[in-house]
Structure 1
Amino acid sequence: MTIDQNELSPAEDTALRKRGRGVALKRVGYEARRNLLPITLAVVFVVAVLIGFSLWISDKAQNADAAVTHTVRNHQLLSVVQSLLQDAEIGQRGYILTGDSFYLEPYDRAISEIESAVGDLQSNVADNSVQTANVAVLRGLIAQKLSELRQSVQRRRDGDQAGALAVLKTGQGKVLMDGVRDVLSRMRAEEDRLMEGRAEQASRAGFIMEMMVIGLSLLAAAVGLTMLHIALRRARSAEAARDELLSRLDRKLLAILAADIAGYSRLMEGNETVTLDRLRHVRDLVDPIIVEHQGTIVNTAGDSVLAAFSSALSAIDCALEIQARMEADNRDVAESDRLLFRIGLNVGDVIVRNGDVFGDTVNVAARLEALANPGGICISRTVRDHIRKQRDLTFDDLGFQTLKNIAHPISAFRVRAGHGA
């Protein structure tokens, strides 16, 4: 018998719909139970393979990181050898010209340490035949240079200043030193070549790890789609509608935070390894603070951080907490070794595309960051107007600033905690 649904009463129509949904749910449950065992076995197998592969990739990544550290160490040893030879030469010349034994202190120290430094260098580059050959040439040149230095110093000790000066005037010392510099330059170039390859290996290993994470996510999604295909149709439709809506809303009003470490290049020149370790430690402190204040980390490049917030209040609260946390973290660190952020804040219309942000608002935030003191915060007038009645802060007016690549002068303020005039 055919029933015209238009003739059903509201109660009958509701009951019929409930029965239809119940049948559909039972069917989904039946299909899921029937395919559960093979799906589970397949998932276990694939996950086991991926875990094994991930362990192998992790080992490769650790080896790549160790190789980069090894190359940095070689650069340091090359600098030590060159510095010791220069100290010895400076001490030699000072002593010959003045006869003051004060100049023999750097000379004697360099003479006593140079052999050990070259030995460390030779041991550290033993895995590279090119560098091993370079060290052999370097040893010969250093031996001749030290012989020339000792000869002239000994003559001066014996009171023969004219003879010592005659050794200098032969120019042999300069020729030998130029030869040493040439070998050291070639070795540095070789280490730079190795660093480039090793850094690429580390980057490739990280990329593969990211792809594996994506692969595991896709596997989980595939299992869910297989077992709950009917239920997920509606979710996929809603997700597609949301993506379409977001693709149209590519402009948003956001607060942009730009942060950069003051004097980072100087710190890297002083000690790359320690500075990189400190930078990783600082990022472990700063990144969670941004997330806690509902911020999104948009971009990181070296020592800089770019983050977006839905409100100026969240952005300033985040910036203040970052600087407070950094101040506490630096208390036990020598002043010359401290990592201090400069932070710039701006609010305005930005273009959002593929997870990145663009526009003058972002550029102004980056330029304001350069106006901030190390450990300080610099904001635009727009940010000041958003937060001045909401937070107990002091605003030092910097006037209108002409910023690079920004068409119009920007009214800027430095921010300090606590109420001021």
Structure 2
Amino acid sequence: MASDFSAPKLSRPKTSTVIRRISYEAGQNLRLITVGVAVFIILLLGASFWVSKKGQEADEAVAHTVHNERLISVVQSQLQDAEIGQRGYLLTGDPFYLEPYDKALSGLGANVESLAVGVSDNRRQDGNVAVLRSLAAQKLSELRQTVERRRAGDEAAAVAVLRNGQGKVLMDGVRDVLERMRVEEESLMTVRANQARRAGFVLEMMVIGLALLTALLGVIAVRASLRRARSAEASRDELLQHLDRKLLAIMAADIVGYSRMMEGDETQTLSRLKDVRDRIDPIIASHSGSIVTTAGDSVLVAFASALSAIDCAVEIQGAMAADNEELPEAEHLMFRIGINVGDVIVQDGDVFGDTVNVAARLEPMADPGGICISRAVRDHIRKQRHLTFDDLGFLKVKNIAHPVSAFKVRFDPAVQLEALG
């Protein structure tokens, strides 16, 4: 294969190429799917929030019912403690027995009212609360009456009140009304517990449904994207049949550590990048190179021959090394350069094809200030340039189906420039 070709005639790249248009159309399709997925997710999340709130309300209702049942037990226990203390005092006259009696009476009224407030959300408990208040008041009156008579020394009168059976009737009535209240609360507990379980079940189903729907929409989106990609690829292949093809050498160059330098001082880095471009653009032009694209710190250049590309790369690296000698090491700007040669597609001032992609993949394999080339480039230049090549073997690179045979170039810029001169 000859190493020299007709000079590339590339116009300035346009912002819209065939590939960009295809990508845009695919992006529009995915954007609509994404919007639809987002709307579904928002609706499902709203429904999940509503169900979760209902479940929380049901849980709070269950806890409220449990609290009411506890108050029922407390009221019954306090009345029983008061009655036990009253009888112990009446039988013995020992004030020690009045301790549980006094303690029960001090908190009973407040607990009855708390219970009344707690069951106020159930209208069926209104009658029970009224009866409880009346019986509790009568029972407390009976207890006080006997205790006061015993304190006054009238033991017989106190025992007579106890023996007439009124206290037992009142206590039986209290137990009966408290039992009815307990049964009512247990019935309500069953209803509220079922509501809480239903809310939890619905919430679980909503979460599962959301996950399944998201997965389904993801599958639909992927399948739509694949169909779109196949269609775009078919359209591209049809279009590429009519595109201009050339045999060119492609040089990809990129500044080492550019992102780090931009993060440190954007203004100074941009100023130095402009100086670098002012330095290397004339070198590219002197070797008949055509700048295809530039993006920040990277440059993609097409040459009519592999010799022109390697000579340009060596001169650029020599110029950068000379400039860096006057600067501290932390401020050195160095290029990595990758070069490949082969068939490329030229359309609207842009270049496409595996040749371009391989050149871009070879660039990061070069050392800072170094050059990495493909075997095709090495074969074109090794008999015409006194360079040394370090074989890197066959490398697997991103988005390239076949392994790439690559070489690092070892050179002395001064010697090379003298040989060319």
With normalisation by structure 1, the TM-score equals 0.46
Q: Which has the bigger relative contact order, CA under 8 A and spacing at least 6?
A: 2
| Structure index of larger Rg | 2
